[in-house]
Structure 1
Amino acid sequence: MRVFMDQDITLTSLEILYSISRELAASLDLRKVLANILTLTTENMNVERASLVVIDIHGKPVDAAIMYNGSLIPHTVDQLLDVVTSGLAGWVVKNQKSVLINNTQQDDRWLVRPNQEIVDPARSALCVPLMAQEVLVGVLTIVHREVNFFTQSQFALQQAIADMAGIAIRNAQLYQEVEHAHLRYRDLFEKSIDPIVVTAMDGMIVAANQKTFETMQITSGEVIGRNIVDFQVLPEKVIDNLFEQIEKNKSLIYEGSLLNAKAEKIPVEVHVSIINLQGQPSLQWIFRDISERKNLDLLREDLSAMIYHDLRSPLANIVSSLELMKEPIVATKDTSMIQLLEISDRATERMNRLISSLLDINRLEAGQPITNKKMTDVEKLMDESIETLHTLAKSKQVMVEKMVFSKIAQILVDEDMIRRVLINLLENAIKFSSEGDKTAIGAKANGDMVTIWVEDHGPGIPPESVDKIFNKFVRLHGNSFAKGLGLGLSFCRTAVLAHGGKIWVENVSGGGSRFILTLPAAAIN
């Protein structure tokens, strides 16, 4: 490569810049890029010593290269920090301006470091900032023993080289960041406890982690190139338009089954998202094994069925016995005995409602229709619910207000089932109320629907629980919430949906919650 001299400046400069641009574009390895910059600089400027320090956005050194007589020499982190915080390079980093010093002994910015003048006395110095998109990425310093060695033409050329060097360093840094990101992703990909599969946008499998092969009991050759749908049992809601839903929403979560080599079904929760893989949109599928959760749900179902069958008959005997005892106890006019009888009646009624609700949940979830519908007056159901919970409200000193704003059409429903829905909601409202609070149960006509609501001024429902509070066995935790099985609201939703209605909850401003349900009004012949 030709050494730059003052004569024939334009031609030589263009040749040098072209040659340097080719050299810097040849590699994206940061260490090689730094070495190339120093080699090209020392050769073209005919100097023995040069240093290049790479700095981060906070001005801290992160890498460097130091060259002396054509060889790279070792350095320490403390040396780098000293270079960018003091002396000439420190001044350039702070001011982001290039500097040409003809005689270092006459410039205060030149800092003589320990033993430097003895080993290699510097007399001329040139220091330029390396910029990339107006961001400082490094500082380049070159020195020569002779005074007035560097010319203005060399200074201009070095600034041009510095511009290319800054871009080359930034490109190498970006490449390094991408490589590190890929390594982190690959590490997470392989070490994940869940099966992870990467596919093209049409579902063709291009990669899978080790957990996938272990779970499905198959080899890489049996998976790669197949369609992800071949290894799944899809739920009805996505079976016809799975990929359309993913592309529309950018991600999708659903429950299904993963098939292993023996065609056994593994219950999974599937998380699908669009990712960028080597510049191409791809799909990442994460399969979370929910076998234990499903087994637990099945155990709860069995427990619910057992409770129903094992308690139904004994409860019937208790109710019959209380009926037989009622007349002689009332005849005694013993107040305490009559109160105990009333407490027993209320307890058995509540137990009977709970068991009936368990039966209804199992029956309705199994797809059985509601057969005993009849024309029912909404206000009558509200009055009966208030009367049933009168003692509970009185004991907590909570007032229950009935609110009816218009003439309400009758509804064609299973009267006992909807009565239990209202009792359940109103009982919760009273339980969550403090002494002296007021709760309300109301109804109004709403087109061809009847809207009923129950409102309290208790702790309200946490926002994160609003969507899941109607799920089976879901209970809110905390001292403000009553303990239970988590079946009451699940029964309410199941019963209302089975009648063609809707149910939801809203938090009331100032505290409390409002449960709202709608039921179709009966058609008038």
Structure 2
Amino acid sequence: MGTTGDGSGRTLVPAPGDIARNAFGGITAAMFEAVFDASPAGLAVLVGPDLIVDHANAACRALTRADVDPVGQPFEDVWPTGDPAVLPALRNVLATGAGLCVDDYAVPAAGGVRRFCVQVRRIPWRRGLAVLVAVWETSEAWAARRAAEEAAAAALTRAGELDATVDAIADGLVIYGRDGEILRMNRAAMRQLGYDAGEASPSFAERFAALRVYAPDGRLMRLEDTPVVRALQGETVRSLHARVEYQGRSLWVLASSAPVRGADGSIAGAVLTFSDETALHAMEQARDDLVRMISHDLRTPLNAIYNQAHLLRRYPNDAARVEARAAAVLKSCERMSAMIQDLVEATLLEDGQLQISPEPVDLAAAVPELLERFHGAIDVDRVRLVVHPDLPRALADPQRLERIVVNLLTNALKYSPPQGEVVLELAPAPEGVAIVVTDRGVGIAPEDVPHVFDRFFRARGARQPEGLGLGLYITRHLVQAHGGRIEVSSRLGQGSTFRVVLPSADGNGVAALH
């Protein structure tokens, strides 16, 4: 290879042998030089053991020191990297022919770091060998990549925050696609619906067919009336109450929905939020029941007192009438006091504030004494007491035990014929002591049996429907507070049997209570 005289003496002119060895056959020296100088990558040819720069294109010159012409200078003077591994690596390429590629090479620079991609190859040159260094500055690409990575990390962080926020919402939240398919559900929705987005059928119609949804007025809701379909049609639905029957459960829900719109304003999906209002609905129903019971049942004895008081005013000097009216007033007051006591005890039991102080109780002695004390308050003449031998002592709170027995007897007498007998039986039981009350009254309808211990429930067929319907409800709570159990069996027209089992004071009683 030779040179042409252009004043510098270093214009690139490949010799015929060099052209053959470099696979540049068929091109002129001018063409080769033009391609070399036009390359966007910085190119430099290094020769000799001192790695002198023999040729450098314009892109390479732009990367060097501005005050130094690189040609004819040692590489380490032109590009002072400060890295002691650079020169040995370049000499190794020249000696062995093993190529070198560094995708990210950082070079300290004023105000920061410049980054390069470097490739080094050995090439034939001037009937000898040289090193061709190709350099691309990647600082801007690296900065863009770093910015993209930071943006992606920030997006992932925001997405994680959004996921955490959505999952922390106590209400169920479901995001739907344009065709009603589920795209996203939070944990509350998965817990209440019993499946996640991946398990759900893609068809909203199929999912809805597995439900029975009722409006507050009891009307069965149609598919097109559901909050999701209405939202997919562009409507915003707020605070819709509905009762949902699903997988054997009946829930009251409060649902809201809204369309999700794309950048062009078209509907891209819908979002649904719903909360389980079953407990709140039960509380509201209990409140309504309480108001209804109090307004009706407390008014009855109050009206009796009112009427008797008027009669007393009309006949103040008739001793017999005054005595009878006073007795009637006293009985009405006792009824009102019993109702108020029921309400107070029910509230304390529900709040767990009613204290139980169990102690050994000899039922064989305590129950007859109780019946004697309540003679006149309840019709104990219709009660036949049966005490089995070997009756263990019960581990019970005497005051609460008395309430249990009186409630069961009062309930049995109320649902029995006027002269019907009620049997009160005290017997040993494997778990402790059994108190069994049997009547031969009207019995309980099969559909009512599961509800006899519910608050404010009164079975049909009562001869004298007195009270608030809290007696058996309170009895159940008292029995359970003792660690016992209560059960009922009944047949319409033949009577009912209530069986209470309390722990005994002998060995297993304490374990049962705890």
Q: Which one has a larger percent helix, Structure 1 or Structure 2?
A: 1
The two structures share one fold, judged by TM-score above 0.5:
no
Larger Rg: 2
TM-score range (shorter-chain normalised) is 0.3 to 0.5
